[in-house]
Amino acid sequence: MNGELEISIGKLEEAEKCKESANILFKKMMYNEAIELYSKAIDLNPNIAVYYGNRSLAYLKTECFGYALNDATKAVELDKNYIKGYYRRAAAYMSLGKFKQALRDFEAVTKARPNDKDAKSKYLECNKIIKKIAFEKAISVTDKSISDIIDFESICIEDEYKGPSLLNEKDVSLNFMKELMETFKNLGKLHRKYAYKILLDAKELFKKQPSLVDITIPTNERFTVCGDIHGQYYDLYNIFQLNGLPSPENPYLFNGDFVDRGSFSVECIFTLLGFKLLYPNHFFMSRGNHESETMNQMYGFQDEVKTKYSSEMADLFTEVYNWLPLAHCINNKILVMHGGLFSRDGVLLEEIRNIDRNRQPPEEGLMCELLWSDPQLSPGRAPSKRGIGIQFGPDVTKEFLRTNNLDYIIRSHEVKHLGYEMAHDDKCITVFSAPNYCDTMGNKGAYINLDGKTLTPSFKTYEAVPHPDIKPMAYAHNLLSMLS
């Protein structure tokens, strides 16, 4: 008995040491390493709410919202009075756009602590979001889109405007794009009339494309695939410095998550849409999970557009994003999508091509999984660490490639230390192009060069470049920062 008691006490002490060490790593923003130690503490002593609560916060930092939700729920089950557990779970719900569930947790805290001003503030802020969404839904124009009601012709160009101009309001030119990029680099702004024109023209262009777009790379040409940019305009500018501006001889595919988190999302998206209009057959854009209204409400893009332009323009962006293609197939051999593969075998490329995408991303099905899924090391499928989509193993990738006669897939969606990762016997490639993500992660950025003859990926990595002193998440909803 005494021996067993000593072992038990030893485990308790070791668990506490693991937690304390994990806390130190967390403060250093070494979140994955902290998660490992919190997990070890839980293995040693699975009955402490704080261990789950702390790991939940680390999962939130790494965008594993599903895991964060599970841990917070476990923490509350272990200790009904553990207030941080309710906050962590509310943060996970908020991150997934589940505002009503988050409100229930804030309400539980206010009932437990009726005199807690902080709890009351969070409850009121969340309730405000829910009422705002309901109000906007109630007054929304159901029979007309924003693009139908914009009085484009009445917008005047003021004499004092010195930025780039679309001559005679005609199509985008290379000179316009060069001037636009330099204007953005110097914290200038595109006139709202030209901004509206780019959005309206881009929407019409995307509407003509299928949900799966075929791309052909000639044998003697190079093609570049970029991953998430997330509003890091100065790193996007650097990509074009390193790899050359887009052109018919230097085509690009940007694989989703152009906006949110980074505070120069407006500059990123207008640059990318401008090049799409300039080179419609040599510049491609896939939808990411952050090209959605819910994500934009929480992670900054919507308020950035409202600050720099208007609410009306923010709504028009939503319409444009609804028409973005969901995937691209290169030379009939490489499928490129933002997230990953599917919850069932047997999915054919033709099914992807025919997806009705003109909508907000659903919470299940092919469209959802294309935007949200992630690879895992173990075979089979598992619930997503994000709380939406799935995780898929190497056997799932192999079967999908065999079914569709493909060589490999390219996806993005996840921060990688080197900016890229090859998994599933090199048949599942992740590329992430936002270095030092959110100014905290310390990762490199990367892009992929392909040649049309071999389709062998060549990875180019780079460090983050300096940017003006406007922090990431500057436009994000203040409730997210309140919960962190």
> Catalytic positions, please?
290
Instruction: Tally Cβ neighbours within 10 Å of residue 365.
Output: 12
Residue entry with tokens 């090859």: 422
Q: How many angstroms separate the Cα of 346 from the Cα of each of 191, 235, 349?
A: 48, 38, 10
Is residue 352 within 8 A of residue 342, CB to CB? The reply is: no
Look-up of token digits 């609410």: 311
Contact at 8 Å (CB) between 277 and 173? no
Task: Give residue 353's region: left, alpha or beta (phi > 0; psi -120 to 50).
Answer: alpha
Q: Left if phi > 0, otherwise alpha if psi is -120 to 50, otherwise beta: which for 38? A: alpha
Q: Are 323 and 203 in contact (CB under 8 A)?
A: yes
Q: Whole-angstrom Cα distance, residue 451 to residue 453?
A: 6
What is the distance between the alpha carbons of residues 283 and 10, in angstroms, rounded to a whole number? Answer: 60
Collapsed DSSP state (helix, strand, coil) of residue 345: coil
Query: What are the percentages of helix, strand and coil residues in the chain, rounded to 5?
Result: 50, 10, 40
What DSSP state is assigned to residue 472?
T
Cα–Cα nearest to 433, from 236, 247, 185:
236
CB contact at 8 A, 329 and 213:
yes
Give the Cβ contact number of residue 61 at 10 Å: 18
Q: Look at residues 358, 353, 360, 390 and name the one whose alpha carbon lies nearest to residue 375.
A: 390
| H helix or E strand, kind and range, residue 21 | helix 2-27
What distance in Å separates the CA atoms of residue 200 and residue 351, rounded to the nearest whole number? Answer: 28
How many Å apart are CA 470 and CA 190, to the nearest integer? 19
Instruction: In whole angstroms, give the CA distance from residue 166 to residue 173.
Output: 8
